[in-house]
Amino acid sequence: MGQLKKPDVEVGPLMDLIEAMHRLHLDAGEPSLPRMAKAWEAGHQAGMYKISRSRSGVAALFSSGELPNGEALNDLVAMLMNEFMDTQRGEVRASQAEFRRLRTSAARHQRAPSASDLVNELRRMGNGYLRLAEGVQQAENMDARSISARNRSNAYMHAATVATEVLGPDHPYTAQLNQRWQELEPELWADQGR
């Protein structure tokens, strides 16, 4: 028994499919690769599974990060549920249908064109807005808790810098953050003199 290596794939439909495969393996009691390969071969010999898989072939299904072949995925679900779980035929078919749905979603996602420069720029801007919101929230929290003027000034300076990058130097929010930062600067010097 043991955990199988999970591949490093980006968040999305393929990750959903791989996570579901690993959950099924866990639900089946985490059988080892040799046990799964042996059960798969026995099922293939008995005509239950369309193809046979070696130990490395089973491992690749779980850890390669590639979209699995539909027949192999169908057989994997049946093998785990038939050999290592107490399931009824209807449950196996329902699980196979769900895994087919996950695989189809992953296949469609892989066939979609890659993001354009415009999409990538909008995502970057979206992340910038999130950074800005976090920076302003941190500065406001420091103001509310009466943290030292130096820390409050640094927090507003950071928020103003991010606002300049994301919104531009002439945006009203940038001006507001710069004004707050500059209002705190004299306090900063007074704190240092203490």
Mean pLDDT confidence for 151-161: 87
Estimate to the nearest angstrom the gap between the alpha carbon of 180 and the chain centroid: 37
Within 10 angstroms of residue 116's Cβ, the number of other Cβ atoms is 9
Torsion of CA 54, 3, 71, 101, to 10 degrees: -170
Distance in angstroms (rounded) separating the CA atoms of residues 70 and 151: 57
Distance in angstroms (rounded) separating the CA atoms of residues 143 and 171: 22
Q: Above 80 in pLDDT, residue 147?
A: no
Distance in angstroms (rounded) separating the CA atoms of residues 131 and 161: 11
Q: Tell me, what's the pLDDT at 26? A: 93
> What is the model's pTM?
0.57
Mean pLDDT for the chain overall: 86
Q: Above 50 in pLDDT, residue 163?
A: yes
Q: Tell me, what's the pLDDT at 186? A: 56
